[in-house]
Amino acid sequence: MRQKATGKGHKKPPTKKQPSEKANTQKRKNVDMMNISEFEDTEVHEGNNYQEQAFTSKKRKKANRVNQKKKKVTVDSSDKPVVQIRQKISHERNLFFFEQLMLKHQITRKFPHLHFEKVAHGFDIYYKPNAYSELNEEMQKEGGGENQSQEEGSNVIKFIKLINNLMPIRDLENKSVMTGAFQKGKLGGGIGAVGGASSLEGPTTEHNEQYFIEIAPICVGDLVCLPQRLFNSSGQIGPLVICYKVTNSLFFIDPYTLKNFEITAQNYFQSPFRALLSVTQLAEYTINDIEVKKNQKGRPISAQAGRFQLSEVSLVKTSELGVAPDVQTFCHITQLLEVGDTVYGYDLKNANLNSDDLASYKKLVLPDVIIVKKKYEWETQRIWKLHHFCMDPEGNDYDAFLNDLEEDQDMRSKVMLFKHENSGSIASKIKFDSDGKNPRVRLEELLEAWTI
C-alpha cells in the first residue's frame, strides 16, 4: 500500500547537503579584485612548464582526502611554483622596480634555493637548489652584506615576510594582510603553519600547496578616486589624488591642496580600489603661464620639504598648440617648471571614467586636466645601468622605468645603479644643473659594475 504523503509513515526527503567551507570561500573570492583561478589560468601561464598544474593539484588534494592522512610528496623543481606573485595592471614598470628591490636586498643570496620565472602580471617562484650560485659569488666578491646559510634562508615564509617590507601585498588564499595574521603564524592556504612543516629545507615537504601573493594594483603616477570611507578617514583629502610613492604602503597627494597621506596595505585591502587613470594614459601639455600660490606670510605654498609647490598654470595640449584655447588648472610641481616646459597630465575632460567611487561624489566638479609630472628630454645613453635576474630589460615599459629612476631621486635610492663601461666619457657630454630642474644621476651615486 502506498504511504500517505503526510503522517507518521511519511518518509523524510533527503537532507540537502550544506555547501562546504571551501566552496563558500571560493564564492567570496570571486567578488574580490583577484581570485585563485587567475593564478592557475593556463592562458596566463602559457609558455611555462606547468600547464597542467591545476589538474595535478586537484588530483593530489583528492587523494589526500581519501587517505585522510599526511604523506610526503616529492616536489620537483619544474612541477609547480611554491609562491605565485601577481599584480594585475596594464604595464610592467612596478615589476621592474620590484626586481630591483629584490636585488638590493639580496634575495638571490639569502634564498639561493628559490628560482624566479617571469610570467604574465608577475612571478612564479620554484624550488631549485643553488639557482643563483654564480650570481651570489659575484655579489660576495663585491662585499654585499653578511653571509647567511641556506638553512637560514630556506623558509618560504621568511621570504614572503621580507617582500612584505618592500611592497603592499596580501595572501589571496585567506585575504590576510602580511603584517597581521601572517607574522603570527596563522596564514592559511599556503605551505602550512609556521614551523617545521613550512620550511623547504630540501626537495621534500609535508604539504604540497602554494602561496598566492597579490600586490596592490596602484603605481606611482596613478590617479585615484578615494572610496568614501577612506576619504572621510583621511580628513577629506581629495577625493582625486595622485600616488607619488610606493613602499609597503601607498602615499598620495592632493594636487589642489598639497595635503598628503599614507594608506597602509592593511587599510588598502580592507577597502580596495583601482586607479581611475594609469600612467599609460598620460597626455602631453605645454605650459604657457605659471602663477605661484602663496600663503598669508607671502611664502610659496609647499609640502614635503619643498618637494611639492602649489601654483595655478595655463596650459594647452601639445598636439593642439596654437589651435585650442588655454586651460586653467592647479599644479603641485611648480618648483620644477618654467614657461614653455612640457608636462604629462590626465585629460579628464575627454576621458571615459567608469568608477562607482567617482559616481558616489554627487557634487564633485572634475577639472579639465590634472598634471602629474614634468617631461624631460633624456639622452639615449646613460652613465649607469641595471642588472637583472628574471626580467627582460627591453620594451617601452622598461624605458619608462629607467626614466622614472632618472627623475625620482627617492625612487633610485632604493635600487642599485652600476657604472656604465664608458661612464666617464658619457658624463663629459651631460650637462648637470644645480637647481634640480633637470635631474641627472651623478657618478658619485653609482656602484662599481659586477657581472651576472
pLDDT digits (tens, 9 = 90+) for 135-161: 555 555 544 444 443 443 356 888 998
**Rg over CA atoms, the chain:** 26
- Give ∠ CA 381-376-373 in degrees, rounded to 5: 135
Domain count within the chain: 3
Considering the domain boundaries, does residue 193 fall inside one? yes
Number of CB atoms found within 10 A of residue 402's CB: 19
pLDDT: is 346 or 106 the higher one?
346
- pLDDT tens-digit readout, 260-293: 999 999 999 988 999 999 999 999 999 999 999 9
Domain that holds residue 425: 384-445
Task: Pick the closest to residue 40 from 54, 59, 23, 25 (CA basis).
Answer: 54
Mean pLDDT of 10-35: 48
Q: Give Cα separations from 52 to 42, 261, 441 (angstroms).
A: 8, 44, 46
pLDDT for residue 188: 34
Q: Which amino acid is at 298?
A: G
Report yes or no on 305 lying in a domain. Answer: yes
Q: List the beta bridge partners of residue 292.
A: 311
Same domain, 274 and 188: no
Is 2 a domain residue? no
Question: Contact at 8 Å (CB) between 198 and 191?
Answer: yes
300 CB-near residues (< 8 Å, 6+ apart): 292, 293, 294, 309, 310, 334
Q: Once rounded to an integer, what is the mean pLDDT over residues 10-22?
A: 49
Closest CA to 254 of 236, 268, 242: 242
Q: Which of 126, 95, 119 is closest to 393 using CA atoms?
A: 95
**Low-confidence winner among 165-179, 181-195, 232-246 (lowest mean pLDDT):** 181-195
CB-CB neighbours of 451 under 10 Å: 7
- The answer to whether position 12 is within a domain reads no
Predicted pLDDT at 428: 52
The answer to whether residue 332 sits within a structural domain is yes
pLDDT at 132: 52
Q: Quick check: is 13 in a domain?
A: no
Judgement on whether residues 348 and 429 belong to the same structural domain of the protein: no
Confidence band of 357 (pLDDT split at 50, 70, 90) = very high
User: 109 or 343: which carries more pLDDT confidence?
Assistant: 343
**Comparison of pLDDT for 137 and 203, the residue scoring more:** 137
* Lowest mean per-residue pLDDT among 105-114, 252-261, 417-426: 417-426
Task: Tell me: pLDDT of 53 over 60.
Answer: no
Element housing 39 (H / E): helix 36-39
pLDDT band at 433 (very low <50, low <70, confident <90, very high): low
- C-alpha grid cell for residue 319? 598636439
Can you list the positions of beta strands (E) in 197-248?
A: 204-205, 211-215, 223-225, 240-246
Considering the domain architecture, whether residues 143 and 201 belong to the same structural domain is answered as yes
pTM of the model: 0.73
pLDDT at 97 over 60: yes
Res. 447: pLDDT tops 90? no
- d(CA 378, CA 280) in angstroms, rounded, equals 19
Considering only residues 76 and 346, tell me which one the structure prediction assigns the higher pLDDT: 346
pLDDT band at 42 (very low <50, low <70, confident <90, very high): very low
**pLDDT band at 4, cuts 50/70/90?**
very low
Dihedral sign, CA of 444, 445, 449, 450?
A: positive
For residues 145 and 275, state if they share a domain: no
Q: Domain check: are 259 and 305 in the same one?
A: yes
pLDDT score at 384: 84
**CB-based burial, 249-275: b 16+ in 10 Å, e otherwise:** bbbbbbbbebbbbebebebbbeeebbb
Mean pLDDT of 363-389: 88
Closest CA to 384 of 402, 398, 399: 402
Dihedral sign of CA atoms 439, 445, 448, 452 in order: negative
Identify whether residues 194 and 257 lie together within a single domain.
no
User: Do 41 and 190 lie in a common domain?
Assistant: yes
CA distances from 323 to 319, 320, 328, 371 (A): 9, 5, 16, 20
What's the pLDDT band for 203 if we cut at 50, 70, 90?
very low
The single-letter code of the amino acid at 203 is P
Percent residues over pLDDT 70 in the chain: 63
Whether 56 and 192 map to the same domain: the answer is: yes
Instruction: Give me the percent of the chain exceeding a pLDDT of 90.
Output: 45
Whether 366 shows a pLDDT value over 60: the answer reads yes
Locate 174 and state its grid cell: 585567506
Q: 181 — phi, psi (to 5°)?
A: -65, -30
Same domain, 125 and 242: no
Task: Decide if pLDDT at 221 tops 50.
Answer: yes
Asked whether residue 166 is domain-assigned, the answer is yes
Q: What pLDDT is attached to residue 109?
A: 87
CA dist 32 and 217 (Å) reads: 13
Task: Write the CB contacts of 113 (distance below 8 Å, at least 6 apart in sequence).
Answer: 127, 128, 129, 130, 131, 150, 153, 154, 200
For residue 12, how many other CB atoms are within 10 A of its CB?
A: 5
Q: Which of 98, 358, 391 is nearest to 216 (CA)?
A: 98
What pLDDT, on the 0 to 100 scale, is given for residue 304? 87
- pLDDT tens across 113-137, in order? 888 999 999 999 988 765 555 555 5
Report yes or no on 76 lying in a domain: yes
Average pLDDT over residues 50-57: 38
CA–CA gap between residue 99 and residue 82 (Å, rounded): 18
By three-state DSSP, how is residue 443 classified?
helix
Q: Which of 178-182, 227-231, 308-312, 325-329 has the lowest mean pLDDT?
A: 178-182
Are 295 and 388 found together in one domain? no
Give me the pLDDT at residue 442, please: 73
**Do 88 and 166 sit in the same domain of this protein?**
yes
Single-letter code of the amino acid located at 359: A
User: What is the pLDDT, as a whole number, of residue 432?
Assistant: 58
- The overall average pLDDT reported for the chain is 75
Q: In this model, does residue 7 exceed pLDDT 60?
A: no
HEC readout, 309-358: ECEEEEEEEHHHCCCCCCEEEEECEHHHCCCCCEEEEEECCCCCCCCHHH
- Tens digits of residue pLDDT in 303-319: 988 889 999 999 999 99
Output the pLDDT for position 38: 63
Question: Does residue 396 sit in the same domain as residue 369?
Answer: no
For residues 417, 418, 424 and 430, what is the CA-based torsion angle, rounded to 10 degrees?
Answer: -20
Among candidates 140, 124, 97, 449, which has minimal Cα distance to 247?
97
